[in-house]
Structure 1
Amino acid sequence: MPLSHLHDLTDDVLARAARIRLACFDVDGTLTDGRLYLDSEGREQKTFHVQDGQGLVLLKRAGIEVAFITARGGTVAVARGRELGVQVFTGVKDKLARVRELGTGLGLPMEQVAFMGDDLPDVPSFREVGLAIAPADAHPWTAQFAHWRTRRRGGQGAAREACDLLLATQGHAPLFEGGTA
């Protein structure tokens, strides 16, 4: 798969991406645009990009484990994760501890783990994982710790760029046999 639609791919980023076996994603600001919609009853709504979902499905098909890790509670991320067949962890106060736990459970060293996030609670994970990815609109205090930054914004295809990077560096062409995002 060509990498021509991706940018700023240093040899270091390519080598890091080629090792990844577990990809963890923050939800708000990464898989969504970060805005929270609350109705008069306090029920939350979020918008997800279908291309991000397709990328996550392709990662799973390629044998890369995928997890959503969010500090917020709520059922929206759980519903999206269920739809995609992805593990979802909500209300997580210490994202790094959860990332370590997932990696250890899979027998993976941290160099084989990627984390994509956009704000300060993601920085501890960025400092330890093999590949830290930030969407284009990540907060600057967080983005400075990323190994790579997408062109697209959170909730607008940024996660798909990350998925494409992992798939391409590991030699996986898109698989077109069914499954929806």
Structure 2
Amino acid sequence: MPESYLANLSDDILARAAKIRLAVFDVDGTLTDGRLWYGEDGRETKVFHVHDGLGLKRLQANGIEVAIITARISHPVSLRAEELGINHVYQGQSDKRACLHQLLDALHLMPEQAAFVGDDLPDLPPMHIAGLAVAVANAHPWVAEAAHWRTTRSGGMGAAREACDLILHAHGDSNAERERWR
């Protein structure tokens, strides 16, 4: 039995998700709750949800490439990506669409084989070319409108995990994996 957020998926969403070979995530507002935390010494900290991390690892374990494309540059993002074994990390990207095109070319993939998960206006250009555009629950209204699918959880609160689960469900990998965890 799929999770409630995977119930009643349209044939279009399932077909789009089944084609995905690359899942790309924004960071601030998507993998985090979007708040920026600075210590007295000026160092930035971020909070990532452990459920999202396992979802990203599960994608990789099932042959789906995972990437991060973010406009900001942040050392905590580098640390989290290294911890999760994410090799495709692009920080300081003012043109996320161009970055996604370059990544697709490098991986020899077509746009319909990519998912992009985001929350705010800089995420719209790559969402417009991705085969599966996902908006987190608390995304800007224009982003939500452009998305093929929307999570029930907010950014930094398990939204990325929902996107991962959708892709794995569409690939038919979730039932076999569920048995592995019994």
Q: Could you state the TM-score of these two structures normalised by the residue count of structure 2?
A: 0.93
SS in 1 for 2:6: coil
Aligned: 1:31 with 2:42: no
Q: Which position in structure 1 is the counterpart of 2:55?
A: 55
Cα pair 1:134 1:148 within 8 Å, conserved: yes
- Aligned to 1:20, the other structure's residue is in SS state coil
* In structure 2, C-alpha distance between the alignment counterparts of 1:8 and 1:129, rounded to whole Å: 22
Using the TM superposition, give the Cα deviation of residue 4 of structure 1 relative to its aligned residue in structure 2, in angstroms.
3.8
Deviations, residues 3-53 of structure 1 (Å, cap 9, x unaligned): 544256211111100000000000000000000100122111110000000
Distance (Å, rounded) in 2 between the aligned partners of 1:67 and 1:78? 12
Looking at secondary structure, tell me which structure has more helix per residue.
Answer: 2
Shift of 1:2: 2.5
Structure 1: 5+ residue runs without aligned partners? none
**TM superposition score normalised by structure 1:** 0.93
CA deviation map 1:79-105 (0-9, x unaligned)? 000000012111111111111111111
> What is the distance in 1 between the residues matched to 2:72 and 2:129?
22
Distance (Å, rounded) in 2 between the aligned partners of 1:25 and 1:7 = 23
CA change 1:134–1:8 in 2 (3 A) is farther
Question: Identity percentage over the alignment?
Answer: 57
Q: Which residues in structure 2 correspond to 1:42-81 (within 5 Å)?
A: 42-81=42-81
Residue 148 of structure 2 is aligned to residue 119 of structure 1: no
Q: Does 1:137 align with 2:138?
A: yes
What is the rounded CA distance, in whole Å, between the counterparts of 1:139 and 1:105 in structure 2?
30
Number of the residue aligned with 2:41:
41
Q: Distance in 2 between matches of 1:15 and 1:150?
A: 17
User: Contact conserved, 2:114 with 2:130, CA < 8 A, in 1?
Assistant: yes
Equivalent pairs, count: 177
Which protein, 1 or 2, shows the higher relative CO under an 8 Å CA cutoff with sep ≥ 6?
Answer: 1
Q: How far did 1:137 drift?
A: 0.2
Letter in 2 for 1:136: A
Q: CA RMSD in A?
A: 1.5
Runs of 4+ in structure 1 deviating by more than 4 angstroms, as ranges, are none
